[in-house]
Amino acid sequence: MIVVICAAVLYVTLAQRVTDIQRVEVSDGKALVELDGQRLQLVALLRSLPEFSEKLIDRSALEQHLAGAPADGVFVDSSDLVEEPDMLPSYTALNAFFDRQSVINGLLEADEIALAVRDADSAENQALRVETLPVMPSRPIGSLPSAFWIQFGAGFLTLTIAAFFMALKPSHPPVVAFAMAGVGVAGAAFSAGIYSTRHMALDPALFVPLSAINQFFTFTFGVATIYLFAIYPVVVMRRKWLWPVSVLSLVFLLLYRMQLAPHDVVSTQNVIMLMLVAIVALVIAQYRATRQDPASRAVLLWLGLSVIMGAGAFVIFVAVPVVLGFDVLVTQSVAFIPLAGIYVGTALAIARFRLFDLGRWAYRILLYAATIGLLFAIDASMIMLLRISPTTSLAIAVALAGIAYLPLRDFFFDRIFRSGMPDLAELYRRTVSVALQPNAVARDAAWIAALDTTFSPMHIERTGGSAENVSPVILDEGEKMLVPSIGGLPTLTLSYAAQGRRLFNNQDAALAGELSALIVTTIADRTSYERGVEEERHRIARDLHDEVGSTLLSGLHATEEARRQECIVDALSDIRQIASGLAGRDVTLASLVAQMRHESRTRAELQGFTLDWPLNETDEGALTLPYRLHRNFHAIHREALSNALNHGVPGVIRVRSSLREQVLSHEIVNTCSTDEPTGSDRRSNAQFRRMGSRNMQARAEQLGGALQTWQSGGQHGVRLEFAVSEPAQ
Is 24 inside any structural domain? yes
Q: Are 199 and 24 in contact (CB under 8 A)?
A: yes
Residues 361 and 348 occupy one common structural domain = no
Is 4 inside any structural domain? no
For residue 178, the Cα-to-chain-centroid distance in whole angstroms is 29
Residues 94 and 79 occupy one common structural domain = yes
Contacts of residue 710, Cβ cutoff 8 Å, sequence gap at least 6: 716, 717, 719
Is 26 inside any structural domain? yes
Residues of the chain with pLDDT under 50: 352-363, 366, 416-419, 678-691, 726-729
pLDDT of residue 390: 55
Residues 182 and 88 occupy one common structural domain = no
Is 102 inside any structural domain? yes
Residues 241 and 285 occupy one common structural domain = yes
Straight-line distance from the first to the last Cα atom of the chain, in angstroms, rounded to the nearest whole number: 82
End position of a domain, from candidates 115, 135, 155: 135
DSSP percent split of the chain into helix, strand, coil, nearest 5: 65, 15, 20
Residues 577 and 619 occupy one common structural domain = no
DSSP helix/strand/coil, 437: coil
Residues 195 and 72 occupy one common structural domain = no
Is 2 inside any structural domain? no
Is 709 inside any structural domain? yes
End position of a domain, from candidates 379, 398, 419: 419
Is 12 inside any structural domain? no
Residue 74, domain extent: 19-135
Tell me the C-alpha to C-alpha distance, in Å, between residue 574 and each of 406, 548, 567, 716.
72, 6, 10, 26
Q: Are 47 and 110 in contact (CB under 8 A)?
A: yes
How many independent structural domains does the chain possess?
5
Sign of the C-alpha dihedral computed for residues 93, 95, 101 and 103 taken in this order = negative
CATH, residue 712:
3.30.565.10
For residue 327, the Cα-to-chain-centroid distance in whole angstroms is 40
Residues 281 and 407 occupy one common structural domain = no
Residues 366 and 502 occupy one common structural domain = no
The rounded distance, in Å, linking the Cα atoms of 481 and 491 is: 11
CATH, residue 552:
3.30.450
Residues 324 and 186 occupy one common structural domain = yes
Pairing outcome for strands 459-463 and 473-475: unpaired
661 phi-psi bin (left φ>0, alpha ψ -120 to 50, beta other): left
Residues 182 and 311 occupy one common structural domain = yes
Residues 203 and 268 occupy one common structural domain = yes
End position of a domain, from candidates 389, 419, 449: 419
pLDDT of residue 299: 75
The rounded distance, in Å, linking the Cα atoms of 276 and 280 is: 6
Residues 412 and 431 occupy one common structural domain = no
Is 481 inside any structural domain? yes
pLDDT of residue 687: 44
